[in-house]
Amino acid sequence: MTKEQMKQYYRRFCRWQQEELHYVNRHEDSVQHCHNCGTEFADNFCPRCGQRAEVGRVGWRSVRENVALLWGMDSRSLTYTLVQLLGRPGYLVRDYISGRRLVSFPPVKMLVIVCLFVVVFETVFHLKNDVLTIKFNVQEVDDVIGWINTQKSWATLLVQSILILPTWLVFRFAPGYPRHTLPEGFFLQVFLSVQALLLGFIGYWSGTAELVLCKVYLYITYRQLFGYGWWSTLWRLAVVLLTQVAVMVLAVVIVIYFFGYDNESRADVDMIKALLFILAATVASVAVILLVTHRINVKQYKKLR
């Protein structure tokens, strides 16, 4: 393959990523009769009750369609959405939170199905891919980490949920999507949780490769969704991840401080006080960074307007 051919394939891939989905009316030339409410219409769905035009008597097709609907193989195919999530993640999320709900399989339902598949996969093949591999030699903290590793799917969503608030603060005035809200941030992190679970299959082979790919995909998703340039997205994403780490460290220190040490041991108390001081400085630094980033975003947004 020549260099020019590779460029052509890349341009075609970029056009596919940014391509808008179009609604196709398969019945515009024929009048349909709704078996549910009796309305006559010329569309894929009844405008009065929403029933599909193809619905008729119950048969083997009905059985197949209902089973497919349960596992996400209907018109909003789960497989189709997963391909979109890996191929054009930011554009898919933007379509969904912008109001184009039918372009995607329902994200929360998709998360549940993917979680179930991961659990079954690990159980059948006796595989294990821990979310956190660190140990603190503190029983209470290690118990929490053990729970996270046994509940990987929901722990992934919990860890991703930490990104909701810093993402809103850092990308609220982004040029590509300037009206980003906290509820939209929730759905963004649901999509990203599914993405992380899919990339987690690479972790059975290499944990390092999984970690790198997750950060790369997170960067691509944020850039496609919010419309910043390469460098602008990179340093803003670094601020978001720094905030996530600070919150996780804060949670660990709180658990250790209240449950992990004997208050009668002065050495332990002195160490915890020093750790809390360092943590307080870290949190203060992160707060200042978030404030400065927010001011920079507002200033740039006003210039664009």
**What confidence tens digit (pLDDT) does each residue in 128-187 have?**
766 666 666 666 667 777 777 777 777 777 888 889 988 998 888 888 888 888 899 999
pLDDT reading at 72 higher than 60: no
Mean pLDDT of the 40-55 span: 79
| Burial (CB count within 10 angstroms: exposed 0-12, middle 13-18, buried 19+), residue 261 | middle
Q: How is the chain split among helix, strand and coil, in percent rounded to 5? A: 70, 0, 30
Mean pLDDT of the 276-282 span: 73
Mean pLDDT of the 91-97 span: 91
CA 115 to the chain's CA centroid: 13
Q: How confident is the model at residue 222 (pLDDT cuts 50, 70, 90)?
A: very high
Q: Both tokens of residue 134?
A: 């660190």
Mean pLDDT of the 11-25 span: 70
Across 43-52, 138-147, 187-196, 280-289, least confident range: 138-147
Q: Both tokens of residue 120?
A: 């079954």
Indicate the DSSP class of residue 31: -
CA atoms within 13 A on the CB side of 117: 14
pLDDT reading at 68 higher than 90: no
Nearest to 118 by CA among 199, 6, 63, 8: 199
Q: Tell me what pLDDT residue 55 has.
A: 74
pLDDT reading at 219 higher than 60: yes
Q: Tell me what pLDDT residue 178 has.
A: 81
Positive or negative torsion for Cα 99, 100, 101, 107: negative
CA distance 177 to 194: 22
Q: Tell me what pLDDT residue 299 has.
A: 77
Q: Tell me what pLDDT residue 158 has.
A: 81
CA distance 164 to 192: 11
Amino acid code (one letter) for 165:
L
Nearest to 17 by CA among 9, 27, 25: 9
CA distance 246 to 236: 16
| Burial (CB count within 10 angstroms: exposed 0-12, middle 13-18, buried 19+), residue 1 | exposed
Over the stretch 180-217, which tens digit does the pLDDT of each residue have?
Answer: 888 999 999 999 999 988 988 887 787 788 888 989 99
Task: Quickly list H helices, the chain.
Answer: 3-18, 60-70, 78-87, 89-97, 107-125, 139-150, 152-161, 164-171, 182-203, 207-226, 230-255, 266-304
CA distance 75 to 88: 19
Average pLDDT for the chain: 78
Q: Tell me what pLDDT residue 192 has.
A: 93
CA distance 247 to 279: 10
pLDDT reading at 125 higher than 60: yes
Q: How confident is the model at residue 105 (pLDDT cuts 50, 70, 90)?
A: confident
CA 229 to the chain's CA centroid: 21
pLDDT reading at 80 higher than 60: yes
Helix or strand holding residue 217 (H, E)? helix 207-226
